[in-house]
Amino acid sequence: MLNAADLSALSITLKLALLTTLILILIGTPLAWWLARTRVRFKPVIEAVVALPLILPPTVLGFYLLIALGPRGPIGRLMEALGGRPLAFTFAGLVIGSVSYSLPFVVQPLQGAFTAVGRRPLEVAATLGASPMDRFLTIAVPLARPGFLTAAVLGFAHTVGEFGVVLMIGGNIPGKTQVLSIAIYDHVETLEYAHAHTLAGGLLLLSFLLLLAVYTLNRRFRMV
Amino acid sequence: MAIEAHYVVRYDDFVLDAAFTAPSRGITAIFGPSGCGKTSLLRAIAGLERGSRGEFSIDGVVWQDATTFLAPHKRPLGYVFQEPSLFPHLSVRANLLYGYKRTPTASQRVSFDQAVELLRVAPLFGRYPSGLSGGERQRVAIARALLTSPRLLLMDEALAALDAQSKAEILPFLERLHGELEVPMLYVSHATDEVARLADHLLLLDGGKVRASGPVAEMVTRLDLPLAHSRDAEAIVSAKITGHDETYDLSHLEFAGGRFLVPRVGLALGQPVRLRVQARDVSLTRERQSGTSILNSFPAIVDDVAEESPSQVLVRLTLSGVPILSRITRLSAATLELEPGRELFVQVKSVAVLA
Amino acid sequence: MLSLKTLRVLLSLGATLLALAPAVGDEIRVTLDSAGNDELRVAVASNFAGAARALVQRFEESSGYHVLLAFGSTGKHYAQIRNGAPFDVFLAADAERPARLEQEGLAVAGSRFSYARGRVVLWSPREGFVDGEGAVLAKGAFRHLALPNPKLAPYGRAAEEVLSARGLLPSLRDRIVRGENIGQTYQFVMSGNAELGFVAYSQVRAPGRSAGGSLWEVPRELYTAIDQQALLLVDSEAGRAFLGFLRSDAARRIIEAFGYGSGDAPC
């Protein structure tokens, strides 16, 4: 049923989603923490910027990323100045695109979770001798755990389903940048509907099983 | 040795500008109407108020001044908040150990077992905060704060959110704390009964400013302060059990101005006690009365008189220096020709003994 | 709590589904509020957008009919028409989809004809980069060569044929990046991420909008003709009038001005 190209698209998709989720948790956590705690006046500006990918159509975002990554764009120039290779049509480029696009899906649940933790537990921890980093790791992060779960699931699912951005900056290179959603799209466009149904069904089932596993685990954790 | 503090914290609609000195031993109650800045003051002392400017030192050790600002986690203090603030993701034992583990061994003066025993929290160890009663949570919170071996314990209306029963359950623990550990405490409260039972020293806050401060017996009887004018105005007298009368089943409570006879209390000889004498239970006579059922009568000197209403006056008297209040009619006051310096006798109808 | 979680699962699944289904819901830009009889709805292949606008302007002036243009990929239009999309005329980017619709009985039989012929160029925004013989392909002094996905776009299929004819397909395979359509391919090249690419002549040398740079106009014998066919889906006066206009000399001049070979005329 699935040919080699499909399997490679599947593996690229999973790799991309996992890596994107990991990176988003790493950069999203401090960002969300800062947003949840700061009182600076320009906070709404940052929040709006983080939320922008929600509003921009993915292909539009992809288009701007393509220009930014290009040899005349800011990121492209930076890469060149650093002696790096251009990022468009590479897996690294896909990761950058996915990270930009899925950022709000990770930052917003985390920010919400950190806000819900509130100041009090952290103040208590401070009076018990915990340094800021200590109380972040031992109090804020454990208390925000449901937010981390939601953030990771949304980030992952959103990257798996991502299409527009990847379409624009990936170049659809089989084995390198061709992800599942584009493979499905190509099948639909070339009237290979049966093949498209198989892939789409498989993707849905896989995502469903994954989400089911995560939520079941979370429930069990919470009961402990 | 003393606690010396002066804080200025500006809020949008309120300025806390409080300076005070308090002994660095025993319990200092911070008392005042809600919104007077009690909690802000405590938070400033803990270093939790970002906008605070001021000075704080305890026994000469500076926590904050013009050039120093010790981060909250570097201040050797324990803080018990009004609502129980246990970490919900940690067991009772892990909550207790949280601060204990972070206290350098060299400065550990309260042992784990000591705090656990004092607040009787051992049976709760394996449980999580969500499964505890309000009183249990607050006991764990107090033990947790003690386990950092604080140089100063801050209690912010620690009992206010509890029902009467939980409150009654915890007060004895606080009294034990007072008696057994030499940790000075700043105790924010607006409950006079807690203050009467626990406080040695009283700091009166009003509108963000310190209105007065001093020993509690002095403060509750000063006629220029609001405490003396409450409906349940009372004097607090320190005494000691000096004997028991087996025949009539009475106890002798000796204080600086004489000796009270009260129905026998089950306390050992030599035990210090606090007596609460309500202003409405104290009557005045020109001569020492004989042929009266009242046992407790002492010579006293009028110190101050204040009219409270067209019919009532409040009289402050001293019994060999011990202040006491009497609330009588204006007519009686006129008949007795009360004025500062007049010598007469007080008759005390009833006394409450606080262990 | 449970219901909230369920909701979250559903939401994530929904988001996944939506993201996966652009082929179905995308780019239907037909205005459905004015369904008058003298109004003609035309589904147009994106590559022909500029020319179609110019044609419609002329047609409306001369006929008094009003034309609504809906641009999109021919694959999507085909799927939409099969599923009942209310188009009167279909200007496709190939001959295959119109032929299928005709076979499937979804069009007016015998109305199908070629209205334009696509011209493939190898283009780079850099002056002098692409030579007049396409020798730059063999020299290989580039990182990426962009072309439309051959499976999806006739221009892509044509580009692949050109590379095959020159025997370059195996050696360049790793450097080929594929756009989903000629529009995206043009963006790859225009942004500089790919140094050069196969695009439509009409994209880089449209009237009043020349993209500059250098190009090689690929000789027609190197690829199968890109035959763009028109089809009447719903029989009407207006539809017949429009298709008739497309065959007129005036229309042919416009089509050629936009860089296409004109339809059924020999070329």
Give yes or no for a contact between B113 and B143, defined as CB atoms under 8 angstroms apart: no
Residues B29 and B168 in one domain: yes
Nearest residue in chain C measured CA to CA from A183: C20
Q: Which chains touch B (3 or more CB pairs under 8 A)?
A: A
For residue B306, give both structure tokens.
């204040």
Residue B159 has pLDDT above 50, yes or no: yes
Say whether B73 and A121 touch across the interface (CB within 8 A). Answer: no
> Three-state SS string across A46-62, please?
HHHHHHHHHHCCHHHHH
Q: Do C120-217 and C23-117+226-262 have the same topology in CATH?
A: yes
B338: domain CATH number? 2.40.50.100
Residues B263 and B182 in one domain: no
Say whether A121 and B148 touch across the interface (CB within 8 A). Answer: no
What is the pLDDT confidence band of residue A164, given thresholds at 50, 70 and 90? Answer: confident
Residue C73 has pLDDT above 70, yes or no: yes
Determine the Cα–Cα distance for residues B301 and C28; give it in Å rounded to an integer. 99
Residues B209 and B255 in one domain: no
Enumerate residues 24 to 63 of chain B having a beta carbon within 8 A of any beta carbon in chain A: 46-48
Give yes or no for a contact between C88 and C236, defined as CB atoms under 8 angstroms apart: yes
For residue B126, give both structure tokens.
């394996």
Give yes or no for a contact between B41 and B205, defined as CB atoms under 8 angstroms apart: yes
Q: Is residue B253 part of a domain?
A: yes
Q: Which of C150, C115, C16, C27 is nearest to C79 (CA)?
A: C27
Q: Which pLDDT does position C4 carry in this prediction?
A: 47
Return the H-helix or E-strand segment holding C67. Answer: strand C66-72
Say whether A188 and C180 touch across the interface (CB within 8 A). Answer: no
Query: To 10 degrees, what angle do helices A91-117 and A145-160 make?
Result: 150
For residue B70, give both structure tokens.
């010790």
Q: What percent of chain C has pLDDT over 90?
A: 56
Q: Is residue B272 part of a domain?
A: yes
For residue A149, give both structure tokens.
């779960």
Residue C28 has pLDDT above 50, yes or no: no
Best of C16, C17, C186 to disrupt the A interface (most A CBs within 10 Å) is: C16
Does chain B reach chain A with at least 3 CB pairs under 8 Å? yes
Tell me what percent of chain B is helix, strand and coil, each rounded to the nearest 5.
25, 35, 35
Q: Average pLDDT over chain B, rounded to whole?
A: 90
CA-based radius of gyration for chain A? 20
Running DSSP on this structure, what letter comes out for residue B246? Answer: T
Query: What are the φ and ψ backbone dihedral angles of C66, each rounded to 5 degrees?
Result: -110, 130
Cα C40 to chain centroid distance, Å, stands at 20
Best of A37, A120, A128, A131 to disrupt the B interface (most B CBs within 10 Å) is: A128
Q: Which of B222, B221, B214, B176 is nearest to B197 (CA)?
A: B176
Say whether B145 and A134 touch across the interface (CB within 8 A). Answer: no
Which residues from C are below 8 Å from A190, CB to CB? 75, 151-152
Q: Which of A14, A4, A46 is nearest to A162 (CA)?
A: A14
| A171, A191, A215: residue with CB nearest C9 | A215
Report how many helices (DSSP H) and strands (DSSP E) chain C contains, helices first. 12, 13
Q: What percent of chain C has pLDDT over 70?
A: 84
What is the pLDDT confidence band of residue C29, given thresholds at 50, 70 and 90? Answer: very low
CATH topology for A4-48+58-223 is MetI-like fold (1.10.3720)
Print the domain residue range for B76. Answer: 2-219
Question: Hey, what's the torsion of the CAs at B174, B178, B182, B185, to 10 degrees?
Answer: 70
Return the H-helix or E-strand segment holding B69. Answer: none
For residue B106, give both structure tokens.
């060299």
Return the H-helix or E-strand segment holding C87. Answer: none
Say whether A89 and C193 touch across the interface (CB within 8 A). Answer: yes
Q: How many alpha carbons lie under 13 Å from residue B288 in its C-beta half-sphere?
A: 6
Determine the Cα–Cα distance for residues C228 and C98; give it in Å rounded to an integer. 9
B168: domain CATH number? 3.40.50.300
Say whether C192 and A72 touch across the interface (CB within 8 A). Answer: yes
Residue B20 has pLDDT above 70, yes or no: yes
The amino acid that residue A181 corresponds to is S
For residue A181, give both structure tokens.
């959603």
Q: Which pLDDT does position A26 carry in this prediction?
A: 96
B304 strand-pairing partners = B316
Give yes or no for a contact between B234 and B276, defined as CB atoms under 8 angstroms apart: yes
What is the pLDDT confidence band of residue C35, given thresholds at 50, 70 and 90? Answer: very low
Q: How many CB pairs under 8 A join A and B?
A: 62
What CATH architecture is C23-117+226-262? Answer: 3-Layer(aba) Sandwich (3.40)
Which residues from A are below 8 Å from B85, CB to CB? 120-121, 124
Say whether C75 and A203 touch across the interface (CB within 8 A). Answer: no
Q: Which of B175, B328, B323, B127 is nearest to B236 (CA)?
A: B323
> Domain boundary residue among B175, B195, B219?
B219
Q: Which of B223, B163, B216 is nearest to B192 (CA)?
A: B216
> Three-state SS string across B189-205, please?
ECCHHHHHHHCCEEEEE
Say whether C5 and A215 touch across the interface (CB within 8 A). Answer: yes
| A58, A157, A212: residue with CB nearest C16 | A157
Determine the Cα–Cα distance for residues A99 and A95; give it in Å rounded to an integer. 6
pLDDT tens digits, A141-151: 999 998 999 89
Residues B242 and B141 in one domain: no
Determine the Cα–Cα distance for residues A126 and A135; give it in Å rounded to an integer. 7
The amino acid that residue C15 corresponds to is A
- Interface check C3 vs A, CB under 8 A: no
Determine the Cα–Cα distance for residues A144 and A155; give it in Å rounded to an integer. 16
Least confident range of A196-210, B81-95, B311-325: A196-210
How far CA B224 is from CA of A195, B212, B308, C228, in Å, comes to 91, 10, 12, 101
Between A61 and C23, residue with greater pLDDT: A61
Say whether A207 and C178 touch across the interface (CB within 8 A). Answer: no
Say whether A129 and B46 touch across the interface (CB within 8 A). Answer: no
pTM over 0.90: no
> Three-state SS string across B50-68, please?
CCCEEEEEECCEEEECCCC
Q: Which pLDDT does position C264 carry in this prediction?
A: 59
Which residues from A are below 8 Å from C192, CB to CB? 70-72, 76
What is the pLDDT confidence band of residue C182, given thresholds at 50, 70 and 90? Answer: confident
* Complex confidence, ipTM: 0.84
Three-class SS of residue A139? helix
pLDDT tens digits, A42-61: 999 999 999 988 888 888 88
Three-class SS of residue B182? coil
Question: Hey, what's the torsion of the CAs at C249, C255, C259, C262, to 10 degrees?
Answer: -60
Q: Which pLDDT does position A47 carry in this prediction?
A: 92
CA-based radius of gyration for chain B? 22
In which residue are the tokens 């990176």 written? Answer: A23
Residues B212 and B245 in one domain: no
In which residue are the tokens 């952290």 written? Answer: A122
Please report, for chain A, the start and end positions of each structural domain, with discontinuous segments joined by +: 4-48+58-223
- Interface check C20 vs A, CB under 8 A: yes
> Domain boundary residue among B167, B195, B219?
B219
| C5, C76, C177: residue with CB nearest A173 | C177
> Beta strands of chain B (E only): which ranges?
2-10, 15-23, 27-31, 53-58, 61-64, 77-80, 152-156, 185-189, 201-206, 209-215, 234-245, 250-255, 258-263, 272-278, 282-285, 296-307, 312-319, 322-329, 343-348, 352-354
Q: How many alpha carbons lie under 13 Å from residue A175 in its C-beta half-sphere?
A: 6
How far CA B354 is from CA of B78, B231, B252, B258, C7, in Å, comes to 26, 20, 14, 18, 58
Residue C60 has pLDDT above 90, yes or no: yes
Mean pLDDT over C93-114 rounds to 93
> What CATH class has C120-217?
alpha beta
Running DSSP on this structure, what letter comes out for residue B147? Answer: T
Does chain C reach chain B with at least 3 CB pairs under 8 Å? no
Say whether A161 and C16 touch across the interface (CB within 8 A). Answer: yes
Q: Residues near B337 by Cβ (< 8 Å), separated by ≥ 6?
A: none
Mean pLDDT over C62-76 rounds to 88
Q: Is residue B226 part of a domain?
A: no
Least confident range of B106-120, B273-287, B333-347, C97-111: B106-120
Say whether A189 and C180 touch across the interface (CB within 8 A). Answer: yes
Running DSSP on this structure, what letter comes out for residue B25? Answer: S
For residue A136, give both structure tokens.
């972040």
Give yes or no for a contact between B154 and B45, defined as CB atoms under 8 angstroms apart: yes
Give yes or no for a contact between C261 and C117, defined as CB atoms under 8 angstroms apart: yes
Least confident range of B155-159, C76-80, C176-180, C207-211: C207-211
Into how many domains does chain B fold?
2
Give yes or no for a contact between C65 and C37, defined as CB atoms under 8 angstroms apart: no
Give yes or no for a contact between C255 and C262, defined as CB atoms under 8 angstroms apart: yes
Give yes or no for a contact between C48 and A190, defined as CB atoms under 8 angstroms apart: no
Give yes or no for a contact between B30 and B185, defined as CB atoms under 8 angstroms apart: no
Residue C9 has pLDDT above 70, yes or no: no
Say whether B73 and A138 touch across the interface (CB within 8 A). Answer: no
Q: Residues near B105 by Cβ (< 8 Å), separated by ≥ 6?
A: none
Q: Which of the residue ranges A167-171, B302-306, C74-78, C207-211 has the most confident prediction, judged by mean pLDDT?
A: B302-306
pLDDT tens digits, B39-77: 889 999 999 987 788 999 999 999 999 899 999 999 999
Which residues from A are below 8 Å from C179, CB to CB? 171-172
Give yes or no for a contact between A102 and A20, defined as CB atoms under 8 angstroms apart: yes
Q: Is residue B229 part of a domain?
A: no
| C18, C152, C193: residue with CB nearest A70 | C193
| B73, B89, B154: residue with CB nearest A131 | B73
Positive or negative, the CA dihedral B80, B82, B84, B88 is negative
Please report, for chain C, the start and end positions of each structural domain, with discontinuous segments joined by +: 23-117+226-262, 120-217
